[in-house]
Structure 1
Amino acid sequence: MGVKGKLIASVEVKCEGNLIHELFHIHAHHVPNISPNFINHFEIHEGETVKVGSVVSWSYNEAGQKRYMKQLIEDIDPDMKLIRWKAIEGDVLESYNSFTIVTSSEHEWTTWTIEYEKKTEGTPEPLVLLGLVLDMTKDIEAHLLKK
């Protein structure tokens, strides 16, 4: 069994956090257009929108390299503005036995939690990926403020 870890980062947003939750829940297919430096492609493989049981994939840039992640939507809590995305395929699973990203929003804050289990003790913490989602959040915030 590998070493388990959890990274949590919250970023203050000037737009309401519920708008960011709504974007990921209903309009996630727009994220590549909103944040093209970080996200290249989004696709829903199973389900019509981001709902519990949906399977989605992302192509993204991590430290200058193209990456891919397919995720199962495990949980959506509309009251907590929370979505739990569990990796089921992709580059991240080369280094981690399990990898789950949780996004939640409240008032002026968006919080990203990455829960993971390393395959080996020498595997680095997923700090680069955490930085990517924080930068993507800033792009989304700027987009929502333009509206």
Structure 2
Amino acid sequence: MGLKGKLISSVEVKCGGHSIHDIFHAKTHHISNISPSKVKNFEIHEGETIEVGAIVEWTYNDDGKDKTAKQVIEAVDHETKTITWKIIGGDLLELYDSFTIITSCDHHWTTWTFLYEKKTEDTPEPLVLLAYVLHVTKEIENHLLNQ
């Protein structure tokens, strides 16, 4: 089979993982201002903050094309600074039957975990998306360090 996959990447952040978690949890709407070339818009459709059950939607630029990702927040753990985002709509579901993104932060690291199931064997691994989120993470880090 080989249709299910898991990618994990950690990146060092000099501003501290807790600061990155704070942006993704409490100041998510600022990411489009921090990384305007990558993130066009962020909107909460249901709920008021990034909390379990909230439904959010990102509009992002991927290789010159605007795309969307609609997500439900499945878990938030403030102790481990982890948020689990399950894709429920948007462009990723054209290639994948399921896609979950887990962000976790500690000390000076931010870790991204992708859990996914490809629609076909020919579907590429989401390495471009992984590079994308790492780039946005570094832009957030630069923003926090320059404040």
TM-score interval (norm. to shorter): over 0.9
Q: What is the alpha-carbon distance in structure 1 between the residues aligned to residue 128 and residue 66 of structure 2?
A: 13
Give the partner amino acid of 2:142.
A
Q: Distance in 1 between matches of 2:99 and 2:28?
A: 20
Structure-2 residue corresponding to 1:20: 20
Tell me the percent identity: 61
Q: Distance in 2 between matches of 1:30 and 1:57?
A: 14
Partners of 1:36 and 1:102 lie apart in 2 by 22
How far apart, in 1, do the equivalents of 2:79 and 2:39 lie? 27
SS at the partner of 1:44?
strand
Secondary structure at the aligned position of 1:19 is classed as helix
Which residues of structure 1 form unaligned runs of 5+? none
Q: Which residue of 2 aligns with 1:127?
A: 127
Q: Which residue of 1 aligns with 2:76?
A: 76
Per the alignment, in what secondary structure is the counterpart of residue 120 of structure 2? coil
Figure out how many residues of one structure are paired with residues of the other and give that number: 147
Matches within 5 A, 1:1-147: 3-147=3-147
Q: Distance in 2 between matches of 1:2 and 1:62?
A: 26
- Whole-angstrom CA distance in 1 between matches of 2:34 and 2:26: 14
Taking structure 1 as the reference length, the TM-score comes to: 0.98
Distance 2:127 2:109 in 1: 20
Compared with structure 1, are the counterparts of its residues 101 and 57 closer, same or farther at alpha carbon in structure 2 (3 Å cutoff)? same
Inter-partner Cα distance in structure 2 for 1:89 and 1:71:
7
Q: Is the 8 Å Cα contact of residues 104 and 110 (structure 1) preserved in structure 2?
A: yes
- The one-character-per-residue Cα deviations of 1:85-142 (angstroms, maximum 9, x if unpaired) are 0000000000000001100000000000111000000000011111110000000000
> What displacement does 1:2 show?
7.0
Checking the alignment, whether the CA contact within 8 Å between 1:82 and 1:105 is kept in structure 2 is yes
| TM-score for the superposition, normalised by structure 2 | 0.98
Taking a change above 3 Å as real, the CA distance of residues 93 and 2 of structure 1, as seen in their structure-2 partners, is farther
Question: How much is the aligned-residue C-alpha RMSD, in angstroms?
Answer: 1.0
Structure 2: segments with no counterpart, 5+ residues: none
